[in-house]
Amino acid sequence: MPPRIPLDDVKRYAWGGAAYRTGRKFSRGLRKPSTKPSTKSSSSVQSRAERIRRQLERDTLEATRRLQTGAPQSTEQDTTSYLSSTPSRTQTQRRRPTAESGEEKRLRRFRPKPPQSFLVKLERARTQRMIVLGRKRGTDADGVPYEEIDIVGSTGNVYQVTISRVPRCTCPDSGKGNECKHKVYALHTVLKAPEHLQYQLALLSSELHEIFANAPPIPTDVPTDKDGDADGKRKPTDGECPICYMDLDEEHNRLVWCKAQCGHNMHKSCFDQWLASQEGRQVRCVYCRTPWELDIGDIAAVKAAGEQTAEGYINVADQFGLSRARDYSGYYQPWARQFEPYSFSPYPW
- Is residue 277 assigned to a domain? yes
Binning pLDDT at 50, 70 and 90, where does residue 9 land?
A: low
- The CA distance from 249 to 238, in Å, is 8
pLDDT at 148 over 90: yes
Q: What is the 3-state secondary structure (H, E, C) of 12-48?
A: HCCCHHHHHHHHHHHHHCCCCCCCCCCCHHHHHHHHH
210 and 123, same structural domain?
Answer: yes
pLDDT of amino acid 6:
53
154 and 213, same structural domain?
Answer: yes
258 and 210, same structural domain?
Answer: no
- Is residue 288 assigned to a domain? yes
* Closest to 315 (Cα-Cα) out of 131, 185, 179, 137: 131
Q: Can you say whether the dihedral through the CA atoms of 132, 135, 140, 143 is positive or negative?
A: positive
pLDDT of amino acid 92:
41
250 and 162, same structural domain?
Answer: no
- The CA distance from 25 to 42, in Å, is 27
DSSP string, 86-142: SPPHHHHTPPPPSS-TTSPPPSS---SS--HHHHHHHHHHHHS--EEEEEEEEE-TT
pLDDT at 118 over 80: yes
215 and 233, same structural domain?
Answer: no
pLDDT at 126 over 50: yes
Q: Look at 78 and 258; give whichever has higher pLDDT.
A: 258
- Is residue 86 assigned to a domain? no
pLDDT of amino acid 145:
95
Contacts of 3 (CB under 8 A, 6+ apart): 26, 29, 32, 33
Residue 169 bridge partners (DSSP): 161
pLDDT mean over 121-130: 90
pLDDT of amino acid 210:
96
pLDDT of amino acid 113:
95
Q: Please give the tally of structural domains in the chain.
A: 3
- Is residue 178 assigned to a domain? yes
- Is residue 326 assigned to a domain? no
Least confident range from 53-62, 145-154, 163-172: namely: 53-62
Q: Look at 203 and 33; give whichever has higher pLDDT.
A: 203
Last residue of a domain, one of 292, 307, 329: 292
SS3 201: coil
Q: Look at 280 and 246; give whichever has higher pLDDT.
A: 246
240 and 204, same structural domain?
Answer: no
* Closest to 166 (Cα-Cα) out of 201, 123, 208, 129: 201
- Is residue 73 assigned to a domain? no
- The CA distance from 336 to 270, in Å, is 42
278 and 183, same structural domain?
Answer: no
273 and 233, same structural domain?
Answer: yes
pLDDT at 333 over 60: no
Last residue of a domain, one of 166, 186, 219: 219
pLDDT mean over 2-17: 50
Compute, in degrees rounded to 10, the torsion defined by CA atoms 80, 81, 84, 89.
-80
pLDDT at 345 over 80: no
213 and 132, same structural domain?
Answer: yes
Residue 168 bridge partners (DSSP): 162
Last residue of a domain, one of 180, 200, 219: 219
- Is residue 266 assigned to a domain? yes
* Rg (the chain; Cα; Å): 41
pLDDT mean over 256-276: 81
216-248 pLDDT, tens per residue?
887 655 554 444 454 547 888 888 887 777 788
Give the CATH number for residue 244.
3.30.40
CB–CB of 158/175 below 8 Å?
no
pLDDT of amino acid 331:
58
pLDDT at 11 over 60: no
pLDDT of amino acid 342:
46
Binning pLDDT at 50, 70 and 90, where does residue 10 land?
A: very low
56-75 pLDDT, tens per residue?
888 888 888 877 776 555 54
235 and 148, same structural domain?
Answer: no
Binning pLDDT at 50, 70 and 90, where does residue 299 land?
A: low
pTM, two decimals, is 0.54
Strand arrangement, sheet containing 131-139: 131-139, 145-152, 158-163, 168-169
* % of residues, the chain, pLDDT over 90: 27
Binning pLDDT at 50, 70 and 90, where does residue 170 land?
A: very high
- The CA distance from 280 to 186, in Å, is 18
Domain encompassing residue 274: 228-292
pLDDT mean over 250-265: 80
Q: Look at 143 and 322; give whichever has higher pLDDT.
A: 143
- Is residue 89 assigned to a domain? no
Contacts of 200 (CB under 8 A, 6+ apart): 108, 110, 111, 207
Q: Look at 110 and 299; give whichever has higher pLDDT.
A: 110
Cβ-defined contacts of 108-112 (< 8 Å, 24+) = 108/166, 108/200, 108/201, 108/202, 109/201, 110/200, 111/199, 111/200, 111/201
- The CA distance from 45 to 218, in Å, is 89
pLDDT at 330 over 70: no
pLDDT of amino acid 1:
47
